[in-house]
Amino acid sequence: MQQFLLLLRYFRRQPRFLALIAVFTLATSLLAALQPWPMKLLADHILGSAPLPGPLHRALEALSLDSGATVLLGIVVIGTLLLFALNSLMDVALTWCWTVAGRRMVYDLAEDLFARLQSRSMLFHKRNTVGDIMSRITVDSWCVYQAAESIVFSPAHALLATIIMVFLMAQLDAQLTLLALIAAPFMVAASFLLGKPLRAAAKIKREIESRVHAHIQQTLTGIPVVQAFAQEEREALRFQKFADAAIRSQQRSALLGSVNSLSSGLITTLGSGLVLWVGARHVLGPQHLGIGSILVFLVYLNSLQAQMKVVAGLYTTAQGLSANMHRVAEILETPPEVADKSDAALLPPVRGSVRFENVTAGYELGYPVLKNISFSAQAGQTIALVGATGAGKTTLVSLIPRFADPWQGRVLIDGHDARDIRLKSLRDQIGIVLQESFLFPLTVAENIAYGRPDASRGEIEAAARAANAHGFISALPEGYETVIGERGATLSGGERQRLAIARALLKDPPILILDEPTSALDAETEHSIIDALRRLMKHRTTFVIAHRLSTVRRADCILVLKDGEIIESGTHEELLARKEHYAHLNRIHSAEAPSLHAAAI
Ligand code: GTP
Ligand code: MG
């Protein structure tokens, strides 16, 4: 219910269309009630001999028409046609209104979901698959339209039509109407009870279908691994298993659906049979119910059953939608883990000093990954982070652009607590180059200018030159206009990395984070981009994480991390002189890769 209220705001954004839909819904309810009346005129007053109803008689007199059979027959035909035409027109208008209003609501919601999901933390995105997130935006967002249509308007229409018809039926035969109305709650209850297994089956069906999607997505995302380990067959078998389960669940769902409609059909037929039996006795009995009236009654009864089914199905529909609504609400209601405070200030252009004060942080409560970290980096310095894998290096640098917030302590940028400044103004001043650089399927130029879409071609080229990338870009089939990933325009690891460096150079941030920017590359390629990296690091506060110690020797300060704590800090020479952890690491490293010393930054 609460989730439904959440969606109401999307209905409210379409007031004009919803008003139109309400008017048309009212009109169709009235038209549905008028439908059998020409037939009554035919049966009672043309074929039968009952006197014309007063209003019609007066209307004919006013138009100076006689009340002969031909004129009346004409009225019946024209009336039937007119009702049909009006009904069809209303249908077209309603469909059009729903198409526009429905799509607008859905895209409105999808837009909000997209924005929300974009602002969720890295941790959230690590934990949720892209497939799941995609289906929330593209599939689940339809629930707003379905909720408006099937929870609000259809039942409202059904209720309205029922009220009008019950009122008219009561004029014809009160006793019969009462009987029809007593049967109604039984029909509703039976339909609800019978629908229970159907709903359970539908839920299982949805779950299995989403597993099929997830399997496709995971396999295709990991296709290099699948192919490298020649596991295509196993993945195909798993797909087959999921597909079989999906088919079985669909079979079950379809079977239960037919059983459900059969049994609820039987119940409604039983109800209408009873009403018909009593109705026929009233025609024959002293009540002298007209033939035309019983025709009207029959049509209404039919329509009444249909309307009641809509009302009875309301719960089922709401149940079916509630899973989607829940998934949507989960995103809309959860505030982003990292967000601007209401009074967050703009971070003025910084010089680039970064200070950690007793920072404790982690991913799971109770398991801190960083413990009481304190250090400070002056503007323009290079700070290197070394330590075993899992020591917390990536976690530490991720606090600077606020990918996460510390549990305790503060991160200060030029003296400003990172939590008090606007995220965008903070991140605008930080450049990041990771181990694997993601490039969008856009042109090379657009990829380089991703952080500054307004950059001129001259600036883009200058950045590419500084990143030692101009050479290979010029050799691409369409140079800077080559779309990455298209027609075989794939790049090697070193080339991708140089584009990432160019991207960071163009952004020209005072603070730079390099998380193992060269560890995915071979020594030769590393050598070719070290130069570019050195240019990138000049005049910026740089945090560089490296497993290869050769890349960190020239750092102004080296922080040695172990199990989330800084166990040593100082320059290369100072740390060597201490002859402890760093010196030990250095010894191992020298033994392993002596050739890399030549490539030191
Ligand atoms: P390398 O990149 O392998 O050199 O390690 P690192 O020093 O960068 O370690 P990182 O900061 O990535 O991880 C530190 C600890 O946090 C490790 O024990 C990880 O298992 C843990 N960790 C990292 N990311 C996550 C996460 O998303 N969720 C959880 N629960 N733990 C995480
Ligand atoms: Mg790391």
pLDDT of residue 598: 37
Q: Which atom of ligand 1 is nearest to the CA of 547?
A: 4
- Among protein residues, the one with the nearest Cα to ligand 1's atom 2 is 389
pLDDT of residue 597: 36
Q: Count of residues for the chain?
A: 601
Least trusted range by pLDDT, from 60-74, 179-193, 491-505: 179-193
Above 60 in pLDDT, residue 600?
Answer: no
Ligand 2 center from residue 437 Cα (angstroms): 14
- Among protein residues, the one with the nearest Cα to ligand 1's atom 31 is 363
Element (H, E) at 372: strand 367-377
pLDDT of residue 520: 67
Q: Collapse the DSSP code of 476 into the 3-class scheme (helix H, G, I; strand E, B; otherwise coil) and give the result.
A: coil
Average pLDDT rounded to a whole number, residues 51-68: 82
- 561, β-bridge pairs: 387, 566
Average pLDDT rounded to a whole number, residues 413-428: 92
Per-residue pLDDT of 220-276, as tens digits, reads 988 889 999 999 999 999 999 999 999 999 999 889 888 888 887 787 788 778 877
For ligand 1, say whether the CB of 437 is within 6 Å of any of its atoms.
no
Q: Indicate the CATH number for domain 439-508.
A: 3.40.50.300
Name the pLDDT band for 320 (thresholds 50, 70, 90): confident
- CA dist 346 and 15 (Å) reads 37
Average pLDDT rounded to a whole number, residues 173-195: 76
pLDDT of residue 583: 87
- Among protein residues, the one with the nearest Cα to ligand 1's atom 28 is 363
pLDDT of residue 489: 62
- 500, β-bridge pairs: none
| Structural contact between residues 440 and 446, judged by C-beta atoms closer than 8 angstroms | yes
Q: Is the dihedral of CA 317, 323, 326, 331 positive or negative?
A: negative
For ligand 1, say whether the CB of 595 is within 6 Å of any of its atoms.
no
Q: Which fold has domain 2-333?
A: ABC transporter transmembrane region fold (1.20.1560)
For ligand 1, say whether the CB of 559 is within 6 Å of any of its atoms.
no
For ligand 1, say whether the CB of 395 is within 6 Å of any of its atoms.
yes
pLDDT of residue 596: 34
Per-residue pLDDT of 7-20, as tens digits, reads 888 888 888 988 99
Name the pLDDT band for 203 (thresholds 50, 70, 90): confident
For ligand 1, say whether the CB of 394 is within 6 Å of any of its atoms.
yes
Ligand 1 center from residue 121 Cα (angstroms): 15
Segments making up each domain of the chain, as ranges: 2-333, 439-508
Above 80 in pLDDT, residue 286?
Answer: no
For ligand 1, say whether the CB of 123 is within 6 Å of any of its atoms.
yes
Q: How many CB atoms lie within 10 A of CB 91?
A: 12
Ligand 1 pocket test, candidate residues 129, 389, 585, most atoms within 8 A of CB: 389
For ligand 1, say whether the CB of 364 is within 6 Å of any of its atoms.
yes
Ligand 2 center from residue 349 Cα (angstroms): 28
pLDDT of residue 115: 92
φ/ψ (deg, to 5) at 512 = -130, 140
Specify the pTM. Answer: 0.75
Counting Cα atoms < 13 Å in the Cβ hemisphere of 525 gives 15
Per-residue pLDDT of 343-366, as tens digits, reads 888 889 989 899 999 999 999 888
- CA dist 369 and 460 (Å) reads 39
The Cα angle at residue 323 between residues 318 and 327, in degrees rounded to 5: 130
- Among protein residues, the one with the nearest Cα to ligand 1's atom 11 is 392
Place of tokens 């982690």: 362
Above 80 in pLDDT, residue 451?
Answer: yes
Share of the chain above pLDDT 90, in %: 33
pLDDT of residue 487: 59
Above 50 in pLDDT, residue 580?
Answer: yes
